[in-house]
């Protein structure tokens, strides 16, 4: 079975909110085409939290931006579709797409420290989004009330909305960004490395609160991180990306318990685990490939300790392994056991 339309089953038969199939996105550059997202498919149900992990530069942000159709000017969508409640976002006009942004899908950007325009007050910047998307428009008192509520929800004093961004600490800015992302009652929030720039304590608090808000409001959320440990605590399903490709997808528990792709396996074995089965730590060597000229066959083969002749020549499709787990590896069935047979 190929990657097309695969993981509908993962969301347990519920009609998915978002269904990405065979997405291919490349960046035009002077030195050639960067293959940043290659045939990526996944789906996300209502009120579901999904994680997307992978090393820096593997295309996580590119996937996220595609969902809002905000990829940089030199990005080209070569094929695939992004179905949002059955509507293909890639087929919409700019004007139609504008109505989906923030009202349906909002985003907490990577490095949200700079997400604020320095010359306007924080509250004003949230107001302008609300002004665009509520139909019929909220009255002034309603808007104010909603702003106050949002600030309380993310653990900020409502008075903060009258401050300028530079007057807030990093943690406050990040909380305010979350308030902004929630402002237009979206169904999905994309959180791209929402906490990497913060210190560990604040990071944990914010993640926890975000998780609570998500569950209370029944939102879907797409967490993006390079940190498996972070993702583990807050997601239901997880997708692992390597060099522009989705290499494993499945329920977070399953993937953590029994990773089916060598890359996931190596990523996981590099985090110390207290509860999981004891494994010998194996290190992940080498660096990710240059996406201008990705390796033939499996993109991971140059770094894979178990690579075979087949891996070097043929590209493995996404294959169903467990009841709801998928992996793109020729040797997926043997993966965790192979870890114990390493020299």
Partner 1 sequence: MIRYLTRRLVQMVLLFLVFLTVTWFLLYILPGDSVALKYAGNPNIPPEAREVALERLGLDKPVLIQFRDYMFNFFQGDLGVSFNQYPRPVVDIIGERLPRTLVLFLTALVTYYWAGFVAGKFLAWRRGNRGEMAVTIGGVGLYSMFLPFFAFMLIWFFSVQLGWLPISKFLDPEQWRDAPFAANEVFMRLFWVTLLTAIAMFMASLAAHRTRGRMLERILRWGGGALVIAAFLFYWFGTEAGQGMRIYAGDIAFHMILPVLTLTLINFAGVMLLTRSSMLETLREDFILTARAKGLPEGMIRDRHAARTALLPVATSLVLAVATVIDGGVITEAVFSWPGMGEILISSVLSEDIPLAVGAFAFIGVLALIGHFVVDVLYGLLDPRIRVTEHG
> Which one of the spans 60-68, 81-89, 99-107, 303-311 is the region binding ligand ATP (CB under 6 A)?
60-68
8 A C-beta contact, residue 143 and residue 126: no
Long-range contacts of 316-322 (CB under 8 A, 24+ apart): 317/1, 317/2, 317/3, 318/1, 318/2, 318/3, 318/6, 318/41, 318/246, 318/249, 319/1, 320/1, 320/6, 321/260, 322/250, 322/254, 322/258, 322/260
**Angle of helix 122-133 versus helix 170-182 axis, rounded to 10:** 10
Residue 124 to residue 65: CA distance in whole angstroms: 24
Name residues contacting partner 1, limited to 41-70 (CB under 8 A): 68, 70
Among 3, 10, 36, 298, binds ligand ATP (CB under 6 A): 36
Report what 100 binds from partner 1, ligand ATP, Mg ion, none; CB cut-off 5-8 Å by kind. partner 1
Among 61, 106, 161, 252, binds ligand ATP (CB under 6 A): 61
Residue 6 to residue 327: CA distance in whole angstroms: 11
Contacts with 268 (C-beta within 8 Å, 6 or more apart), sequence order: 228, 256, 259
Nearer to Mg ion, 61 or 264 (CB): 61
Is 226 a binder of ligand ATP (CB under 6 A)?
yes
Is 30 a binder of ligand ATP (CB under 6 A)?
no
For the bound state, the minimum distance from the C-beta of residue 184 to ligand ATP, rounded and expressed in Å, comes to: 24
Is 289 a binder of ligand ATP (CB under 6 A)?
no
Nearer to partner 1, 31 or 119 (CB): 119
- Tell me, letter by letter, the H, E, C secondary structure of 279-293: CCCCCCCCCCCCCCC
Per-residue contact string for residues 93-132; x = within reach of ligand ATP by CB under 6 A = -----------------x----------------------
Residue 169 to residue 87: CA distance in whole angstroms: 39
For the bound state, the minimum distance from the C-beta of residue 154 to Mg ion, rounded and expressed in Å, comes to: 23
Nearer to ligand ATP, 50 or 168 (CB): 50
For the bound state, the minimum distance from the C-beta of residue 134 to partner 1, rounded and expressed in Å, comes to: 12
Among 8, 47, 129, 284, binds partner 1 (CB under 8 A): 129
Among 2, 14, 29, 99, binds ligand ATP (CB under 6 A): 29
Nearer to partner 1, 20 or 108 (CB): 108
Side by side, the strands of the sheet bearing 319-320 are 105-108, 188-192, 220-225, 49-53, 237-242, 245-251, 326-327, 319-320
| Four-point Cα dihedral 237, 198, 150, 44, nearest 10 | -10
Residue 334 to residue 327: CA distance in whole angstroms: 12
Among 5, 46, 98, 257, binds partner 1 (CB under 8 A): 98
Residue 162 to residue 65: CA distance in whole angstroms: 30
Report what 132 binds from ligand ATP, partner 1, Mg ion, none; CB cut-off 5-8 Å by kind. partner 1
Nearer to ligand ATP, 1 or 292 (CB): 292
C-alpha torsion sign, points 232, 234, 235, 240: negative
Q: Determine the residue with CB nearest ligand ATP.
A: 61
Name residues contacting Mg ion, limited to 37-66 (CB under 5 A): 61
Is 56 a binder of ligand ATP (CB under 6 A)?
yes
Cα–Cα distances (Å) from 263 to 63, 96, 254, 304, in that order, read: 19, 39, 15, 8
Q: Which residues form the interface with Mg ion (CB under 5 A)? A: 61, 110
Q: Which residues form the interface with ligand ATP (CB under 6 A)? A: 27, 29, 34, 36, 54, 56-62, 72, 74, 110, 226, 291
Q: Which residues form the interface with partner 1 (CB under 8 A)? A: 68, 70, 98-103, 106-107, 109, 111-112, 114-119, 127-129, 131-133, 164, 166-167, 180
């Amino acid at each position: 079975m190929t990657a097309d339309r695969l993981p509908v089953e993962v969301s347990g038969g519920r009609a998915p909110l978002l269904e990405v199939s065979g997405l291919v996105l490349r960046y035009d550059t002077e030195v050639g085409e960067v293959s940043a997202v290659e045939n990526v498919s996944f789906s996300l149900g209502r009120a579901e939290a999904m994680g997307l992990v992978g090393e820096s530069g593997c295309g996580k942000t590119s996937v996220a931006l595609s969902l809002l159709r905000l990829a940089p000017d030199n990005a080209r969508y070569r094929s695939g579709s992004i179905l949002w409640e059955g509507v293909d976002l890639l087929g919409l006009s700019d004007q139609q797409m504008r109505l989906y942004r923030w009202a349906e899908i909002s985003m907490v950007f990577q490095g949200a420290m700079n997400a604020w325009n320095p010359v306007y007050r924080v509250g004003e910047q949230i107001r302008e989004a609300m002004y665009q998307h509520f139909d019929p428009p909220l009255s002034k008192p309603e808007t104010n009330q909603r702003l106050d509520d949002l600030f309380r929800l993310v653990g900020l004093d409502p008075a903060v909305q009258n401050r300028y961004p530079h007057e807030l600490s990093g943690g406050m800015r990040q909380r305010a960004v979350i308030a902004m992302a929630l402002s237009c009652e979206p169904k999905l929030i994309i959180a791209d490395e929402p906490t990497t720039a913060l210190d560990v304590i604040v990071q944990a608090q914010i993640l926890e609160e975000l998780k609570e808000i998500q569950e209370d409001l029944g939102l879907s959320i797409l967490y993006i991180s390079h940190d498996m440990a972070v993702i583990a605590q807050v997601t239901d399903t997880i997708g692992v990306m390597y060099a522009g490709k989705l290499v494993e997808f499945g329920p977070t528990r399953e993937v953590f318990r029994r990773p089916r792709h060598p890359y996931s396996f190596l990523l996981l074995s590099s985090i110390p685990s207290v509860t999981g089965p004891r494994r010998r730590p194996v290190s992940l060597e080498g660096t990710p490939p240059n996406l201008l000229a990705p390796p033939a066959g499996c993109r991971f083969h140059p770094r894979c300790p178990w690579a075979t002749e087949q891996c070097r020549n043929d590209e493995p499709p996404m294959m169903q392994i467990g009841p709801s787990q998928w992996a793109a590896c020729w040797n997926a069935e043997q993966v965790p056991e192979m870890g114990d047979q390493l020299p």
